[in-house]
Structure 1
Amino acid sequence: MRKTHEWKDTIFILLAFCIMILLYFSSSMSYQDQNVQPFLERILSGEPLKGLLEVVRFSYAGNEVSIQASGYAGFVEFFIRKAAHFGSFFLLGVFWFLGLKNKSSSYILAALLALLLAAGYAGFDELRQSFNPNRTALMEDVYLDSLGAMTGIAISWLMSTRGSNKKSNRRKLKFR
């Protein structure tokens, strides 16, 4: 059984590195290369839910986020970009945790290592963006990325402990 765990652990660690490579190349691209506003303007030309979304207004990294400030497509794109931040680091946290949980002495240590690796990479990624003239490095994105990783780690931990409790209950039933 341990061999199966070692193989799965290695796969999860390789997936974490794949996510990091994808993030590296994604943040090397200029904003213009990633701009989806023209596409959004085409598919959302009727501006669905505009009446409902017009009341949403908040500040992110010192800039106002609203339809009035960014236009409808820019407003929607903001949420797509931030969901991509959260989602990619969610996966990074999941893969690091699942890859490390059987290699460390406790789930707590695996969770801390996974969070440090993901949050550290988020900081590195934003630092790299600060050297790209067409990109903006934001500490708020590091926080969002870290929150995504933390959420992925927490859910993975809960699912792992839940799964191990079911297995131990099955073993108890078999050997009684």
Structure 2
Amino acid sequence: MKQWQKDGRLYLAIAFAVMAILFYSSSQTYAQQSQIGLLERVLKNQPFLDQLQTISFVYAGKEISIAADGYFSFVEFFVRKGAHFGTYLVMGGSLFLGLLPRMKSYPLTAVVAWLAAVGYAGLDEFHQMITGGRTPLFQDVMLDASGAGTAIILCMIWSFIRKRRTF
């Protein structure tokens, strides 16, 4: 196990597993993925309704607010966008950690890992375009890119701190 971790294979396996999960997820329609029923059961008392009602913004040309979408759709929006950011956070970090032992250059590895994650995000949105009941959004690609970039920056910081402690 340590060798898999040391040479990056474990991290690359995690990145490819995330890609497979994303591909499967993008193959489903919005109705198949909707978590509104679950949210209605779990959040039936609509916690923080008063505070959340004051939030309103535009995302991809559409108003996002409780007034426009209802409480549960509004909460689901944040769950979905959090999933975008989080999955690409894992993918970006895994790609960076998986490629670093092979490339041995922090800046080059960071660029390649980020471009690979963003490229996959673009392909994922294209896949959604050809899947019925889905809406591909450039804004989602940017959200995915920020998740991957955040992970890569955190991994670089962690690597530099770890390297300094060994001297």
Q: Could you state the TM-score of these two structures normalised by the residue count of structure 2?
A: 0.95
Structure 1 contact 122–142 (Cα < 8 Å) conserved: yes
Helix, strand or coil at the partner of 1:137: coil
Q: How much has 1:8 moved relative to structure 2? A: 4.0
- Find the aligned partners of 1:103 and 1:40 in 2 and give their Cα distance: 44
Q: How much has 1:7 moved relative to structure 2? A: 4.7
Deviates more, 1:67-76 or 1:5-14: 5-14
Give the RMSD, CA atoms, in angstroms. Answer: 1.4
Per the alignment, residue 100 of structure 1 pairs with 99
Q: Which amino acid aligns with 2:70?
A: G
Helix, strand or coil at the partner of 2:119: helix
Per the alignment, residue 122 of structure 1 pairs with 121
Q: How much has 1:132 moved relative to structure 2? A: 1.1
Q: How much has 1:6 moved relative to structure 2? A: 7.1
Q: Which amino acid aligns with 1:69?
A: A
Q: How much has 1:5 moved relative to structure 2? A: 7.1
Per the alignment, residue 66 of structure 1 pairs with 65
Structure 2 contact 7–102 (Cα < 8 Å) conserved: no
Q: Could you state the TM-score of these two structures normalised by the residue count of structure 1?
A: 0.91
1:130-169 counterparts in 2 under 5 A? 130-168=129-167
Deviates more, 1:74-83 or 1:13-22: 13-22
Q: How much has 1:105 moved relative to structure 2? A: 3.6
Helix, strand or coil at the partner of 2:8: helix
Per the alignment, residue 20 of structure 2 pairs with 21
- Find the aligned partners of 1:18 and 1:117 in 2 and give their Cα distance: 15
Helix, strand or coil at the partner of 2:131: coil
- Find the aligned partners of 1:6 and 1:45 in 2 and give their Cα distance: 43
- Find the aligned partners of 1:47 and 1:83 in 2 and give their Cα distance: 19
**CA displacement, residues 106-157 of structure 1 (integer Å, 9 cap, x when unaligned):** 1000000100100000000001111112110000000000000000100011
Q: How much has 1:79 moved relative to structure 2? A: 0.1
Structure 2 contact 7–101 (Cα < 8 Å) conserved: no
- Find the aligned partners of 2:112 and 2:49 in 1 and give their Cα distance: 43
Q: How much has 1:4 moved relative to structure 2? A: 3.5
Change (3 A) 1:157 1:11: same
Structure 2 contact 91–117 (Cα < 8 Å) conserved: yes
- Find the aligned partners of 1:68 and 1:26 in 2 and give their Cα distance: 28
**CA displacement, residues 64-123 of structure 1 (integer Å, 9 cap, x when unaligned):** 100011100000000000000000000000000001112114100000010010000000
Identify unmatched segments of 5+ residues in structure 1.
169-176
Per the alignment, residue 47 of structure 1 pairs with 46
User: Across the two proteins, how many residue pairs are aligned to each other?
Assistant: 166
Structure 1 contact 5–102 (Cα < 8 Å) conserved: no
Deviation >6 Å, runs of 4+: none
Find the structure with the greater CA-based Rg.
Answer: 1
Identity %: 41
Per the alignment, residue 90 of structure 1 pairs with 89
Helix, strand or coil at the partner of 2:132: coil
